[in-house]
Amino acid sequence: MLTLSRRSLVGSMAALAAAAVARPALAGDKKKDAAPAPATPAPAPAAPAAGPFVLPPLPYADTELAPVISQNTLGFHYGKHHQGYVNKLNDAVAGKDWASKPLADVMKGTYGTDATAIYNNSAQVWNHTFYWSSMRKAGEQAPNGKLNDAIKTSFGDLAGLKKELSQAATSQFGSGWAWLVSDGGKLKVVKTPNADNPIVLGQGTPLLCIDVWEHAYYLDYQNRRIDYVTAWLDKLANWEFAAQNLG
């Protein structure tokens, strides 16, 4: 199970910041020699706020999910949205006992209570941390070993699993998530709205998740969620991570 560490963010934030800095124009530059600029530059990350929770480093460079997920989308999603959830969580727990608890305990302990800001932001921090690890450098990869056996038992084959995950991801109304979970020795696919996840809902152990909030894909795919999900399943799904979570 992935847990949020309190490691320093210096490395990852510096990498993102470096990626966001445009090359300055030089007096001797000729237009034809200038490096091609991206259509939309990657954003500078949001400033981290003081508090017990921190943004964990990405498990890959912010260019390695392309062309499925662009550096620009990842820059906003990680550097603005995920960092924003971390900042809001730190604000919400300030002066409360939750500030000294592990992230998963905060998420589970505030679900269904009136501490909605703490719940929503802690769950979104957890979900996004899990989502980053649910992806790997873009390319072909297939599950094997015990995970592959479990997929065959529960879905017939990998195509059957992808079909169920795609249906869950594209049919989730509004913002939410699609998940592959292990429940009672069987794999299943579930979807959750907003910040909810299978842990707080008692739906099983998460193995993999797809973020279907519009901020995850809109810059690259606009309203074509199905194209994002299809490319994600074919090129980004991290089956090794799913296998580790299956245990």
Residues that bind Fe ion (CB under 5 A): 211, 213, 216
For the CB of residue 140, give the shortest distance to Fe ion in the complex, in Å: 25
Residue 132 or 239 having the CB closest to Fe ion:
132
Nearer to Fe ion, 128 or 151 (CB): 128
Closest CA to 207 of 160, 242, 183, 238: 242
> Which residue has the closest beta carbon to Fe ion?
211
CB of 150 to Fe ion, least distance (A): 27
Closest CB 124 distance from Fe ion, rounded Å? 7
Q: Half-sphere exposure of 185 toward its Cβ, with a 13 Å CA cutoff? A: 0
Nearest-angstrom CA–CA distance, 87 and 50: 8
Comparing CB distances to Fe ion, the nearer of 213 and 232 is 213
What is the smallest separation between the CB atom of 199 and Fe ion, expressed in angstroms? Answer: 17
Backbone φ and ψ for 141, nearest 5 degrees, come out as -160, 150
Cis peptide before 67 (omega within 30 of 0): yes
Cβ proximity to Fe ion, 111 vs 132, nearer residue: 132
What's the min distance (Å) between Cβ of 204 and Fe ion?
Answer: 21
User: In terms of Cα–Cα distance, which of 60, 69, 200 is closest to 124?
Assistant: 200
Nearest to Fe ion of 58, 246 (CB atom): 58
Q: Which of 239, 234, 240, 41 is nearest to 138 (CA)?
A: 234
Angle made by CA atoms 5, 9, 11, in degrees to the nearest 5: 125
By beta-carbon proximity to Fe ion, the closer residue of 69 and 147 is 69
Dihedral over alpha carbons 76, 48, 179, 105 (to 10 degrees): -170
Work out how close the CB of 145 gets to Fe ion at its nearest, in angstroms, rounded to a whole number: 30
